[in-house]
Structure 1
């Protein structure tokens, strides 16, 4: 007899994963509708319909719950953005002499790609306002969570830098520090701008917010790509 029993075709590991997912979904609902102050062990377990021992099976603090929830939202965000980039329409064949020398290729349309990626990210966070509240506001609640959020911004900046190198066919033999600088500037700036917009400090519609963001991403991306060619 094994220690990891299977009931109804579901293994112990799968059941634990389901309980963890239920707790995270409950945390998202509580924070998103009632506020971070309402997130307690008893309230979380009641919302998830689970015994408190299952909470301690997965988490040792409220910050641990929030960190896991932030990570889950960040993963959803990355998946949505990358899928949008991959599905963006093609642009014309490049003949302007990029740094790489493996021949001209048909590349995605710059603005269409930026628009698709930014729209996907903004919509994921604002179609379900609970996610934005967790990722952008609750993520700054404690020093530990602020550090976690800062690292998440770095991860997305590295993703933007990598996508930019690939998109513009920039040689990655000796990466220019300006690439990382601009990627961090864009992602960090977008986080602050989106937070301000969610708090009502920017008098813009969501579509206007997206269009202005696309303008900045395209401007800085094209400018740097031209300098590096």
Structure 2
């Protein structure tokens, strides 16, 4: 075996696979540090120690601490988005049933994972790019609603109301309710999902909100 092959393949594991494994360890360590101790405790030294890696491997993957934090936030966002889409598409019924299923699954992921719960509660102002990503994420949720809701029976706003505007209003409103829920969790995920579903349907279709 020539030296180039040895560099690419060590112990049966390619160089790309080893880099991917190191990145996975660093992301997991950063996520746990953020989720369990807070954003201020995410440091290059601490993450490397938790991952069992030398700092040079950190900088192989990330330019600095903030780049790791953004990558962790993106990964959490992608997991939650995937949950929304998959649970909605797999649910039977019309718009209300799919919306309820998506919100229930979304909230259960947050409630069942203390790391994600803590990350979702973090003030993002201290890390460049994160607040912008929050706005972008809400717009992405709105686009998902439009993309996957357009062909679902019941997704029919009142005349004169643009579907995309409805979707953005719904995404922002639900996000605000979730922010409050994250702070005190005075409702179960199922209860909050039901409240959000009823409010979304009320706005989107002009139904009266029942008091029961």
> Is the shorter-chain TM-score for this pair beyond 0.5, marking a shared fold?
yes
- Structure 2, unmatched stretches of 5+, are 208-212
| Residues 137-156 of structure 1: pairs in structure 2 closer than 5 A | 137-156=122-141
Deviation at 1:170, TM superposition (A): 7.2
**Aligned Cα RMSD in Å?**
2.4
Say if 1:169 and 1:8 are closer, same or farther in 2 by CA, change over 3 A: farther
1:95 paired residue number: none
Change in CA separation of 1:181 and 1:140 when aligned onto 2, cut-off 3 Å: farther
Q: Deviations over 1:166-202 (max 9, x none)?
A: 224879xxxx8721212111112222221221112x6
How far 1:158 moved relative to its partner? Answer: 0.8
Structure 1 residues 46-68: Cα deviation after superposition (integer angstroms, max 9, x where no partner): 11111111110111122211111
Alignment of 1:21-36 (within 5 A): 21-36=24-39
Relative distance call for 1:217 and 1:140 in structure 2 (3 A) is farther
Quick check: 68-77 or 184-193, which moved more?
184-193
* 1:133 positional shift: 2.2
- 8 Å Cα contact 1:137/1:195 also seen in 2: no
**Equivalent pair of 1:114/1:218 in contact (CA under 8 Å):** no
Q: Specify whether residues 141 and 120 from structure 1 end up closer, same or farther in structure 2 by C-alpha distance, changes over 3 A only.
A: farther
Counterpart in the other structure of 1:105 = none
Paired residue for 1:74?
77
2:168 equivalent in structure 1: 184
Q: Tell me the matched-pair count.
A: 201
Partner of 1:194: 178
Deviation at 1:156, TM superposition (A): 1.5
SS of corresponding position for 2:151: helix
Please show how residues 1-229 of structure 1 align to structure 2 within 5 Å. 1=2, 2=4, 5-89=8-92, 108-168=93-153, 178-200=162-184, 203-223=186-206
Structure 1 unaligned residues grouped into runs of 5+: 90-107, 225-229
